[in-house]
Structure 1
């Protein structure tokens, strides 16, 4: 059954251009949470899906998987949240609950995960993401936002933040200062720098040009900056890093970065690159080096990164924009023209329905529609 009407912006074809769109939420089930969307991060994966570059996109597609909202309705069996709570939703909104990953609290690796965007729920309803006025999500896939963490600051942590935190977590508690490399300085990369520094690591930012050097060193507090297109710099840094977190969402050969790793070093790929990556097996064999992957993080880890951020008083570097700027935001994101993550002020935007009428920016959950 369909529930209340909601309003958002959707891509309708592979151009990826977003425009106003109205749709019906699914009915709120016994274990569901309905939330009014307040803020939503803007991610490269959204763009890939909008253009049908990864997976197989079903249009119209409402993007957005870094969602912070306010609880407005609860199913009868929901006990962990209350109406008015500030909550978050990340990349997935469902899994089988029975496989080994699910039973091990690693539900992001469930073979039957239900993604927040471009996914189909168990009842057959199609998911719409956080570029919209409201969502209905099973309570297991909702996290609590700490009281001392601003909602616009929390949004990027729900995908980009936990994507960096989950693989870096394995290096916590080392008895020596680890030498970390963060490849790429976008949304995930800048959070990776902050997290690695908060863990006490010596951090080198690796970028294809020199233009982000000052930001990396002076703003984010990195210890060193390495230009990957500078052969002399790369040669001088050979065999110096214990691990590299690869956050680049575009095609790039891996060989030159493997040369930076020490014996037993690890390169961890976390970005969804639409083309196959390349490396020479000899580069791994001669240094006992490893390439690993990591996919977002578990629900437990998502809660952990929020609490880690709040406890240490860390800051995400964001640019908050309204919904009518979203297409421009994606254009700028592709040019790396953002410091360092766009966040949509959804609740502060005027959303249009398909007929072009303006939706008021006040919430009235007593009405049949969810509006902003």
Structure 2
């Protein structure tokens, strides 16, 4: 019988709260419904915990434990707040993405009716964001940093768009669309960034020719920033470069009603990391009101990825049950956290998800 090994890093601020809630859900599924599925969870230190105990926000020991695992659950981190000179900074998650070549950042957006402009079930789109190059200076260079100052009065940043990077993220988008509503939209700024986005669009057109059954179109990022809020129902899979995808997916979280409902999966050929879209929210840390849903759903996405990779339908079923339980909880509007307009707590949401899973078990 296969044993899956998943590394778990609590992260910073609200990280331990939402990760522990997610683990409660995963452990219930494994103990009460899928007792034949063997998953071992291994704690690793990332963030302040690693910095204090091992001198780095991303200790080498933690990376080795991740390498010995099938995937990673990562809590939100205090990115940008670690001290100068931290070997793991400024973004441990960026370094993890680069180390494991997690080129695809999959960020779904679903409407639950929390935002009254978008009724429950009306919107279901996914943003596929290139994750290893673009303008992100912490991961777009083989050596050194993609942001620098040639003089004290001039700051410069390098944008990296490669044919290989474009090919694999665009293929991932078409692969996802084939199992959805068969529509892919490329988002770009090709009217200004004619060379870098020109290459991205060229590759998009080439790959679209391989998928005749899937509708392919493109949109300038300015127009998409407006249209994704006014007509999100039009879109199925949106594929774009790193920074555009990061910004648009945070904007799209408004459709769901909160960043606390925005999950994501960072995946490569051989590894994947569950990581909620939202940040570490230090202003509410320790208050017991952090919304764990995004992290819970991200864990479900990791299970689905592992199930697909290992041809194990049980993991896909676990992912489906998590998503279904979350929807039932939100639609009932019971004990929701303040970001969703309720007066509930992290614990009440966790209990609510587990209660819905118990109901489905019957």
TM-score normalised to structure 1 length: 0.30
Kindly indicate which of the two structures has a greater share of residues assigned to strand.
1
Kindly indicate which of the two structures has a greater share of residues assigned to helix.
2
